[in-house]
Structure 1
Amino acid sequence: MNLNRFSGWTAAAALIAVLLSGPAGPAQAAPALDNATCLTCHDGSKGALEIAGADGEPRELHTVGADAFGKSVHARMDCVACHGDIKDNAETGNAHQKDPAQKPARADCISCHQDLWENAKKENRTREKARLGVVVENIDAYKKSFHARTNQDDPTRPNASCEDCHSSHSFNVPAKDSPQYAEWRLGIPETCGKSCHEESLETFAESVHGRLVLEKRDVKGAVCSDCHTSHAIGNTSAAPFKLAITAECGNCHEENFKSYKATYHGQINTLGYAYTAKCYDCHGSHGILEIKDPLSKVHPDQRMKTCKECHSGKKDLPEAPPGYASFQPHGHPGDFDRYPEIWIANQMMIQLLVGTFAFFWLHTALWFYREYKDRQQRKTRPHVKTDALAELPASLHRKHYRRFSLTWRIAHITFALSLMVLTLTGIPLFYPEAPWAAPLMKALGGPQIAGLIHRVNAVIFAGVFFWHLGYVALRVARNWKTFKLFGPDSLIPNLQDGKDLVAMVKWFFGKGPRPVFDRWTYWEKFDYWAPFWGVTIIGVSGLMMWLPGLTASYLPGWVFNVAAIFHSEEAFLAVVFLFTVHFFNNHFRPDKFPVEIVMFTGTMSLEDFARDHTVQYRRLVASGELEKYLVEAPSQPMTKASRVFGFILIAVGLSLLALVAIGFFGIGVR
């Protein structure tokens, strides 16, 4: 056959074959696994589907409802976007994998959402996809939560996964304040209870919270996530959870939370320590009942039993005596009908504080004003050298008058130092929400160490006070024949003090000359007698709280509420008065500024003595007794050390005053 003819016939045959087979095109791809294909098996129409579980036992797969999935946040996604290991395999006829024995991998919600968020950040679409950022924050919280830990019964899975709570095929959190959101919220207890926490759900259902949610369908009722949070589920025995759940109670029960924070239990809690009683210790957790319910933990018939759960006589807490039952953990001074004792105690302290500060701050302001005006007019207090000192031999002019003995000076310094330590260790409890309170308490070693330091210094403070009483009594007894109760050497206020006060006020307003004083001025006498009231109030109330078992064995529990008011408010009065009025009278007034060191050296120059205590000076000169009180001037090192020490004490006092001011005015409190 002719080769050319054969080639032509072959080409023609090939052309006919091509024409008969239709137009040429790409190879046909395997049919895609779209959602409709998946739902032909997983919509429940073919019955339940099972796979082998981790223990080899069959496990039923979730049924995916087409309607529910269509309304979910994932409705626009393909099934295989999450179930990425599922591939169509025509060879085996298995739609999931080549090896039918291989178990399907779980959908990874965490990685998926994190990848989406990372892509959003790369594309600068974080604002548009802000919700993704919230999801990632929730993921971070979940990873640290109790739910994310490995399940003890099944190490292949966590305690709870996203799917356990959210049901990803139908998950959709409705918009807040919508009827759908309210219904979704009311379903949270059943989601938690029916999946894992059945016993807790049963207890919750009988509680005031459970009845409000499950029976009355009140959306304001507390649900699981209100107390335990949604994603940062913590170990309930851990301190962070105890602190957090107490704050969660306060989100609803604001007034009770406020009154709780005013108690010792609440103050320690606010400072970040979890060992004192929390809301759930007294009221219960899942099974909270109304107070009037006989089974409630805070019912009058049950209170002692509840108190003894902590105050059991074990460890450091003595067994609760009967008085504990009438303690008012939510008592506050704003309700006379319910808490008359607390109201009265608070009113007494308010009147005392207002009266004291109003008088002495006005006194200080007027004094400063008159000094300022006199200096403006170039009026200064006359030096006494050319006057009274001229009566003395020149050899005595450089001598010093011994005003305070070594014993008095040691007592004063001990009193001052112990008071400052008491202030330092006490104010974190008084202002636990202040920004400095928690760091200060931590620096002190925690409440237990701070409490120990506080009580030791309270004993020192009281010891100095009682020693002084004995010292004065002994001195009076030795000199009882010559001692005059209202004489010039007595610290007991007399008629002359009233006259001096009136004369001082006249000078304040430019209506008379500046008065002269005897051994003790009226403000010095007030400084002396104020601790008698203060130490008694602070000491007795502090001792009652230090020994609660003994106190409550004989007195009702509300005395602790009253004692706390007296103790804190009197301490506030003492601290603010000492570091404002007392500091001004002795250090900050213009003729003494910046520091007066007579209490550290014990002596003062004759010139200062004649100027500040003119009446006493003249009396001693007239009687010829002055010389027996004269001593050599303190050495330069002693003078310098006294000034440095004085400056340190003043700086510490003003620093403590600043902390009190920050706490009192709520500066920096969120």
Structure 2
Amino acid sequence: MAGVILRIFSVLVLFLFHPQTLPAAQPDMAVDPSTCLSCHSNKISPDAFASSVHSKNGCTSCHTQLTNLAEHLRGKIKTEKVRCERCHKKENAEHYGSIHAQKDIMCADCHTDVHTHRYWKRDKRVVVAKCVQCHDEEAIYRTSIHGVAVARGNQDSAACHDCHNLHEIKALGDVTSFTAREFHTKVCMRCHSNKEMMDRNNVFNIAVETYFESYHGKNYRLGYPEKVAGCADCHTSHAVLKASDPRSTVNKDLVVTTCQKCHPHATKLFAQFYAHGEHRDPQKYPILYWTFIGMTVLLVSTFAVFWVHTILWLFRGFVENREKARALAEGKIQIVPDGFRQYRRFRPKHIILHLLVIVSFLGLALTGLPLKFSDQVWAKQLMHFFGSPANAALIHRICAIITFIYFFSAVLMSIHFLFFRKDIPGNWLERLLGPDSLCPNAKDLQDIVGMIRWFLFKGPKPTFERWTYWEKFDFLAVFWGMFAIGGSGLMLWFPEFFSHFLPGWMFNVATIIHSDEALLATGFIFTVHFFNTHGRPEKFPMDFVIFNGQVSKYELIEERADLWRRYEETGLTEKFHVEKGSSVLFDFFFKGFGFLSLFVGIALLFLMLYAFLSH
């Protein structure tokens, strides 16, 4: 009894000396907080508790088992482990799956000041101070550009919880794992993709955008962050400093070492690569800007000319077919004697080369377009089909090697044609400009004018020699393509080798050229070339000549009357006559292959159009 009286006396004294400190007892409180503090004031400051976030809850809100003060004072009811989740359900759910919970780090291990804890008012300095108590190896963060800004009160700057969260702190596991690799880039994007925040803090505001335009960023967006460099690989996780700081991993004196972590043979020239080069900024990156402008002009002008050519031909060819059908019905078309007799147009070596072109081109398109349009769902699915960017890159490079093989084969065949063929009259210059050559000549200009007049119903359709002007354009485009796509592709394939004599920004230039020229090539082949070869009304749905090398006499006279006339005048018609046509099995297999190739190309064309329209 004496003990109880003493406790009551202590409470009265507490009220006398701290009349305004503690909040009034709430009706549902089992025990008034002031009663508890009459005994526990030696450990818990009444003033501090009164100003804490828990003061209005009262002691028994947490210590729920203390329902009888007298029993507690006699020692019969003792305090038990507090269950914070009774009130903090959301925080508890987040903590439950965290690395802290896995390591048995509970609420009170971080919130050691639970009786005096005040609302942090979103002050990031409070979080940092708490985290570094245990994570002392990450204390280097405090000297980083983020840590210094937080210490100055900048609430935009990244603190521990901006990356790791407050309670839902996930285990990253192996530093090379997908989870860890994705984390070290994704968390940076949370802030750096916010252009308004970046502008407010005078920070480069297109870091994320330019990263996604790089090979690294495209692979990240396709779902393979573990395969490429992310933000932390160059800038580190916690020691992020300005590039001008001599301690920074991207400082001009240290950046080579940083590059060498992934590119062991990188040189000082290699490090001149613009990691975040912006090709739309003529002031900072004029070489990238003008390269981009030049490639854009090339794309737009090429497509504009040939798409207009295609549309005009499509309509005029449709009209021509109707005119032929009417003339045939009226008996006005003269039947060509032996019209179905077959003549050789291509030799087996030409057919093999074209098959190599088809296989390699489709392989390059299938493996390259997912990178070009890495933000598209179909691009991710296509890359997943290949298994990984590494597999796609392997296929891409095999197809590139095939491309070099057929290109140099064509060069050797051209040299042989000009200097060593015995069946072609004239010297090399006469052969170069002659009717059997793929080099443009004066007749091609006449044919272009004639076709335009025919398109506009102003004249007859011109007759052609062995090669038409659009076929010559296709052939010569390979040479430009090999210089543009092939040259830039080799630079991107072997950057460390080329960095011994080329500055790193040349790889930025090569990326623009390779990407845009590949877009030009695929767009041209899948629209203009497909139409000129297979889609025009007189050939639809497929011209099979490139697979069996044979063409009928009727087609020769109809399309290449000048060639047929020359062969008749020189007595060469029988030289090209084919006694036996291709077999049924051969035709069945290669027509199937041809239609499959057309389907793949047209499907990719529609996916490309969808990608452009969905932006």
Q: Distance in 2 between matches of 1:226 and 1:272?
A: 23
The answer as to whether partners of 2:269 and 2:502 remain within 8 angstroms in 1 is yes
1:249 is the counterpart of 2:188: yes
> How big is each residue's C-alpha offset from its partner over 1:40-76, in whole Å with a ceiling of 9 and x where there is no partner?
3359962127xxxxxxxxxxx99971332367xxx4x
Deviation at 1:143, TM superposition (A): 3.2
- 2:83 is matched with which residue? 107
Instruction: Find 2:233's aligned residue among 251, 271, 281.
Output: 281
Closer/same/farther in 2, CA of residues 268 and 139 from structure 1, 3 Å limit: farther
Q: Distance in 2 between matches of 1:448 and 1:421?
A: 14
Deviation at 1:501, TM superposition (A): 0.6
- 1:330 is matched with which residue? 276
- 1:227 is matched with which residue? 163
Give 1:356-395 correspondences, 5 Å limit. Answer: 356-374=302-320, 387=334, 389-390=336-337
> How big is each residue's C-alpha offset from its partner over 1:283-317, in whole Å with a ceiling of 9 and x where there is no partner?
22222111222222211112112222333xxxxxx
**Larger displacement relative to structure 2 (336-345 or 37-46):** 37-46
The structure whose Rg is larger is: 1
Closer/same/farther in 2, CA of residues 94 and 512 from structure 1, 3 Å limit: farther
**Structure 2 residue matching 1:65: 3-state secondary structure:** helix
- 2:214 is matched with which residue? 263
Instruction: Find 2:351's aligned residue among 409, 413, 434.
Output: 409
Q: Distance in 1 between matches of 2:512 and 2:102?
A: 46
Instruction: Find 2:147's aligned residue among 206, 210, 213.
Output: 210
- 2:559 is matched with which residue? 612
**Larger displacement relative to structure 2 (138-147 or 409-418):** 138-147
> How big is each residue's C-alpha offset from its partner over 1:249-302, in whole Å with a ceiling of 9 and x where there is no partner?
233333011111211222222222223222122122222111222222211112
Give 1:422-437 correspondences, 5 Å limit. Answer: 422-437=364-379
Count residues with an aligned counterpart: 566
- 2:450 is matched with which residue? 503
Instruction: Find 1:622's aligned residue among 569, 573, 579.
Output: 569
- 1:197 is matched with which residue? 135
Deviation at 1:374, TM superposition (A): 4.2
1:47 is the counterpart of 2:46: no
Deviation at 1:339, TM superposition (A): 1.6
Give 1:21-100 correspondences, 5 Å limit. Answer: 34=29, 36-38=31-33, 40-41=35-36, 46-48=41-43, 65-69=49-53, 75=56, 79-88=59-68, 90=70, 93-94=73-74, 97=77
- 2:258 is matched with which residue? 306
Instruction: Find 1:343's aligned residue among 266, 289, 295.
Output: 289
> How big is each residue's C-alpha offset from its partner over 1:495-514, in whole Å with a ceiling of 9 and x where there is no partner?
11011111111111111111
- 1:601 is matched with which residue? 548
Deviation at 1:169, TM superposition (A): 6.5
Give 1:525-604 correspondences, 5 Å limit. Answer: 525-604=472-551
> In the alignment, residue 286 of structure 2 is paired with which amino acid?
P
The answer as to whether partners of 2:374 and 2:380 remain within 8 angstroms in 1 is yes
> In the alignment, residue 146 of structure 1 is paired with which amino acid?
I
Deviation at 1:354, TM superposition (A): 0.9
**Structure 1 residue matching 2:581: 3-state secondary structure:** coil
Deviation at 1:535, TM superposition (A): 1.6
**Structure 1 residue matching 2:99: 3-state secondary structure:** coil
Give 1:648-667 correspondences, 5 Å limit. Answer: 648-666=596-614
The answer as to whether partners of 1:86 and 1:96 remain within 8 angstroms in 2 is no
Q: Distance in 2 between matches of 1:185 and 1:416?
A: 59
The answer as to whether partners of 1:587 and 1:593 remain within 8 angstroms in 2 is yes
Q: Distance in 2 between matches of 1:629 and 1:377?
A: 31
The answer as to whether partners of 2:277 and 2:508 remain within 8 angstroms in 1 is yes
The answer as to whether partners of 2:66 and 2:72 remain within 8 angstroms in 1 is no
- 1:297 is matched with which residue? 249
Closer/same/farther in 2, CA of residues 622 and 68 from structure 1, 3 Å limit: same
Deviation at 1:331, TM superposition (A): 0.6
The answer as to whether partners of 1:605 and 1:633 remain within 8 angstroms in 2 is no
1:144 is the counterpart of 2:59: no
**Structure 2 residue matching 1:592: 3-state secondary structure:** coil
Question: What's the % identity of the aligned pairs?
Answer: 35
The answer as to whether partners of 2:451 and 2:461 remain within 8 angstroms in 1 is yes
> In the alignment, residue 627 of structure 1 is paired with which amino acid?
E
Q: Distance in 2 between matches of 1:278 and 1:78?
A: 49
1:523 is the counterpart of 2:470: yes
Deviation at 1:602, TM superposition (A): 1.1
Deviation at 1:423, TM superposition (A): 1.3
Closer/same/farther in 2, CA of residues 561 and 330 from structure 1, 3 Å limit: same
Q: Distance in 2 between matches of 1:271 and 1:490?
A: 45
Closer/same/farther in 2, CA of residues 86 and 471 from structure 1, 3 Å limit: farther
**Larger displacement relative to structure 2 (647-656 or 164-173):** 164-173
- Provide TM-score, normalisation by structure 1: 0.77
> How big is each residue's C-alpha offset from its partner over 1:394-445, in whole Å with a ceiling of 9 and x where there is no partner?
xx44321111111111110111111111111112222222112223222212
- 2:8 is matched with which residue? none
**Structure 2 residue matching 1:147: 3-state secondary structure:** helix
Q: Distance in 1 between matches of 2:158 and 2:40?
A: 38
Closer/same/farther in 2, CA of residues 557 and 606 from structure 1, 3 Å limit: same
Q: Distance in 1 between matches of 2:360 and 2:564?
A: 34
Q: Distance in 2 between matches of 1:240 and 1:320?
A: 28
The answer as to whether partners of 1:87 and 1:96 remain within 8 angstroms in 2 is no
- 1:176 is matched with which residue? none
Closer/same/farther in 2, CA of residues 508 and 169 from structure 1, 3 Å limit: farther
**Structure 1 residue matching 2:343: 3-state secondary structure:** strand
Question: Any stretches of 5+ residues in structure 2 without a counterpart?
Answer: 1-26, 194-205
The answer as to whether partners of 1:293 and 1:299 remain within 8 angstroms in 2 is yes
**Structure 2 residue matching 1:371: 3-state secondary structure:** helix
The answer as to whether partners of 2:123 and 2:155 remain within 8 angstroms in 1 is no
